Amino acid sequence: MATAACAGGETTAQLPSRAAGTAKADGGESAPAAEDGHGELFPGSETEEPSASAIKLPRTEVGETTTGSLEISGEKPGQPVQNLVFKIEGTEVPSGGQCLGEVGPEGCSETFDYTPTRPGPYTGEATATMADGSMVTVPIYGEAVDSAASTPPTRITSAPPQTPDETETEEWSPEVSSDVPSPEDSDLP
């Protein structure tokens, strides 16, 4: 349940919220996350509950911006979108604000940018508040890698210096004669 204030007064009401990735009212399942940073939101109609697919952002390096989008379906007349908020790691992420109100039959695409500040997985959500006060939550997730970790190691191209093999070395020992000449054997005058 979520609490929302009515636009014209101080009244608050408990409103139902619906997370994406759960079963639809007709017994079907919502679509799985796309691999390309795009998710889908069906705002619901008179006969169908709202549904959505998660947004899986592409893997990116820390400090590099990745872009995601949420495609809002207009194939059946549905609830107008009153508010759409993107949050990742607890921080609101700006979006274009193009898809508020009635969505035409061609649908509408809302984009957002996110720049990860640390390596590892991250999560968030897009929350769409519909005209009747109901909410649809779309999971957002992705992964950032450290720029040093994503660079392949440099290959050493020069060979290490050769060390002599022990079998190739020759032992040297001086020749020592055991015969010591005596002064009488000497040719000296």
pLDDT tens for residues 42-65?
988 888 888 999 999 999 999 999
Residues 149 and 119: beta-carbon distance below 8 Å: yes
Q: What is the mean predicted confidence (pLDDT) over 80-88?
A: 95
pLDDT per position as a tens digit, 111-150: 999 999 999 999 999 999 998 899 999 999 999 999 775 5
120 occurs within a structural domain: yes
71 occurs within a structural domain: yes
Residues 141 and 56: beta-carbon distance below 8 Å: yes
Q: pLDDT grade, residue 77 (50/70/90)?
A: confident
CATH of the domain at 45: 2.60.40.10
Which residues pair with residue 2 across a beta bridge?
A: 15
C-alpha span between 101 and 78 (Å, rounded): 10
Structure-token match 């040093």, residue found: 148
171 occurs within a structural domain: no
Q: Say whether pTM exceeds 0.75.
A: no
138 occurs within a structural domain: yes
128 occurs within a structural domain: yes
Residue 108 has pLDDT above 50, yes or no: yes
Q: Which residue has the higher pLDDT, 90 or 187?
A: 90
68 occurs within a structural domain: yes
Residues 72 and 106: beta-carbon distance below 8 Å: no
6 occurs within a structural domain: no
Q: Which residue has the higher pLDDT, 168 or 48?
A: 48
Residues 127 and 70: beta-carbon distance below 8 Å: no
Q: What is the mean predicted confidence (pLDDT) over 60-83?
A: 91
Residue 32 has pLDDT above 60, yes or no: no
Chain centroid to Cα 44, Å, comes to 29
| Domain extent for 70 | 18-150
Determine the pLDDT at residue 38.
93
Q: In the chain, how many domains are there? A: 1
36 occurs within a structural domain: yes
Long-range CB pairs of 28-36, under 8 A, 24+ apart, other chains included:
33/139, 33/141
Q: What is the mean predicted confidence (pLDDT) over 76-105?
A: 91
In sequence order, what are the residues at sequence separation of 6 or more whose Cβ sits closer than 8 angstroms to the Cβ of residue 168? none
pLDDT averaged over every residue in the chain = 75
